[in-house]
Amino acid sequence: MFIHIKNYVANVFLALTCLLAAGPNNAYAHGEKALEPFIRMRTIQWYDVHLTQDKLKINEEVTITGKFHVAEDWPRSVPKPDMAYLNVAVPGPVFIRTERYLSGQPLMSSVALKLGGDYDFKIVLKARIPGRYHIHPFFNLHDAGAVMGPGQWVDVTGDPAAFTNSVKTISGETVDMESFGFANGVSWHVFWIVLGTAWLLWWVRRPLFIPRFKMLKSGHGDALITPLDKTIAKAILVAVPLFVFGAYAMTESQYPNAIPLQAALDQIEPLPPAVNAGKVNIKVIRTEYRVPVRAMNMVAQIHNYSDQPIRIGEFASANLRFINPSLGQSGKNEDDTLVAAKGLVIDDDSLIQPGETKTVSMAAADALWETEKLDGLFRDADSRMGGLLFLYDPSGRRYIASISTSVIPKFD
């Protein structure tokens, strides 16, 4: 894909320019398949992710909303999510993030997530650079990597020069973020560079290396520094620090209320349970992955504690969605490439009555297991998988269970 290639090219260019310096971004962009399958399936379990629109003009906003469950069966090799950052996979600031909420609260910094917690989120992006972008919400997890949410294409058109972004300070001053401090910063740089260059030219215009070396070795080194040089040096030695501290004092009086960078961690509690909320209890007894037919066969014991009969509608894991086609409740985005619209087949698809415990065998089958590189699970040190199972009652009410199970590969 164009964006993906461009990211790599941009990174290579950046690496060359910075001479192997660490790039400022894009390191994880579209690393959807880069992380180990068990991390993608058993950490942040995304669902209901939507974008408000897929065609924008510069300065228009798109809102990403969605929910996620933090898996209870968090892999032991992954540090607990005590430091997590809700991010958006885009190639740099082609959008700016104007707002972000977690569980309805503004989220400005990083946050600690609770295992088993349910959260919803909202991110507002404002279009800044025209192009076609594949946007994903994702979590940067400290020491673990980027766990991607589902992606969607967005087209941005218009003139980038028309982009505006202003912010109001506490004292009521409006600041243009695209240019704030630029002229001032450049002026200071120019001032010091001119002074430095003047000092360099003062010396460079003289005969340099060979003549000076010869004179120094022949014992006439003292003549290489003239009294005028010394006078100028003394003047600079006094003037530069005086000027620096003078400018510093003036800046202090100009910005007496400057505050340090803010480093607090946001404190946000999970929402009331939405997944494993007690209405449905699911225990996966055995799971086999049939390699030749690319099917995950799960045998699960389902207990219905609700007062309505229920059926299984969908199994979702690592942004793959396997839909039970006999249910009209889910799978509205059938054109989405990561949805297997007929991917979930259940042996006994009859209603599970209130209070009933039923053992069901289901098969989540699709080539997506392979194309999304989730079938590598069996070659990992941790070959447990996890995901969300969506069940529905006749009125369309949804019950969600987060399951986890070890997987046995079958090669026949």
Partner 1 sequence: MATTNLFDFPPQPYTGEKARLTRAFDYLILVLALFLFIGAFHLHMALTVGDWDFWLDWKDRQWWPLVTPLMAITFPAAVQSVMWTHFRLPLGATLCVSCLLIGMWITRIFAYHYWNYFPINVVLPATLMPSALVLDMILMLSNSLTVTSILGGMSFALLFYPSNWPIFAMFHTSVEYGNAQLTIADVFGFQYIRTGMPEYLRLIERGTLRTYGQYATPLSAFCSALLCTLMYPLWWHLGKWFATIRYVKTI
Least separation, in Å, of the C-beta of 164 and partner 1?
A: 12
Which of 40, 42, 126, 134 contacts Cu ion by CB under 5 A? 134
Which residues ranging from 12 to 71 are in contact with Cu ion (CB under 5 A)? Answer: 30
Angle at which helix 182-204 crosses helix 227-254, to 10 degrees, equals 170
Least separation, in Å, of the C-beta of 149 and Cu ion?
A: 10
Which residues ranging from 25 to 64 are in contact with partner 1 (CB under 8 A)? Answer: 25-29
Least separation, in Å, of the C-beta of 29 and Cu ion?
A: 8
User: For partner 1, which stretch binds (CB under 8 A), given 40-48, 165-173, 293-301, 362-370?
Assistant: 165-173
- 171 lies in the site for partner 1, by CB under 8 A: yes
Burial of 389 (0-12, 13-18, 19+ CB in 10 A): buried
Residue 43: count other Cβ atoms within 10 Å of its Cβ. Answer: 26
- What single-letter amino acid sits at 108? M
- 387 lies in the site for Cu ion, by CB under 5 A: no
**268, 102 in Cβ contact below 8 A?**
yes
Least separation, in Å, of the C-beta of 116 and partner 1?
A: 22
Nearer to partner 1 among residue 103 and residue 404 (C-beta)? 103
Residue 216's binding partner among Cu ion, partner 1, none (Cβ under 5 to 8 angstroms by kind) is: partner 1
Write out the two tokens for 158.
């218009």
Write out the two tokens for 56.
């924008």
Least separation, in Å, of the C-beta of 410 and partner 1?
A: 38
Whole-number Cα distances in Å, 319 to 164, 300, 336, 372: 34, 21, 11, 10
- What single-letter amino acid sits at 224? L
Which residues ranging from 142 to 201 are in contact with Cu ion (CB under 5 A)? Answer: 151
User: For partner 1, which stretch binds (CB under 8 A), given 64-72, 100-108, 314-322, 324-332?
Assistant: 100-108
Which of 1, 208, 285, 367 contacts partner 1 by CB under 8 A? 208
Nearer to Cu ion among residue 1 and residue 177 (C-beta)? 1
Dihedrals phi, psi of 25, to nearest 5 degrees? -160, -170
User: For partner 1, which stretch binds (CB under 8 A), given 36-44, 54-62, 236-244, 305-313?
Assistant: 236-244
**149, 86 in Cβ contact below 8 A?**
no
Q: What is the rounded distance in angstroms from the CA atom of residue 134 to the CA atom of residue 148?
A: 12
Which residues ranging from 237 to 276 are in contact with partner 1 (CB under 8 A)? Answer: 237, 240-241, 243-245, 247-248, 250-252, 254-255, 257-264
- The dihedral region occupied by 23, where left means phi > 0, alpha psi between -120 and 50, and beta the remainder, is beta
**279, 307 in Cβ contact below 8 A?**
no
Q: What is the rounded distance in angstroms from the CA atom of residue 282 to the CA atom of residue 405?
A: 11
How many residues in the shown chain lie near Cu ion by CB under 5 A?
3
Nearer to Cu ion among residue 30 and residue 40 (C-beta)? 30
Which residues ranging from 135 to 164 are in contact with partner 1 (CB under 8 A)? Answer: 138, 140, 142, 146
Neighbouring-strand partners of residue 126: 61, 96
SS3 117: coil
Nearer to partner 1 among residue 130 and residue 309 (C-beta)? 130
Which of 2, 13, 153, 305 contacts partner 1 by CB under 8 A? 13
Write out the two tokens for 145.
């990597």
- 8 lies in the site for partner 1, by CB under 8 A: no
Write out the two tokens for 371.
């194309």
- 193 lies in the site for partner 1, by CB under 8 A: yes
Which of 88, 277, 291, 351 contacts partner 1 by CB under 8 A? 88
How many residues in the shown chain lie near partner 1 by CB under 8 A?
117
- 1 lies in the site for partner 1, by CB under 8 A: no
Least separation, in Å, of the C-beta of 110 and Cu ion?
A: 23
Least separation, in Å, of the C-beta of 175 and partner 1?
A: 6
- The dihedral region occupied by 300, where left means phi > 0, alpha psi between -120 and 50, and beta the remainder, is beta
Write out the two tokens for 97.
């993030």
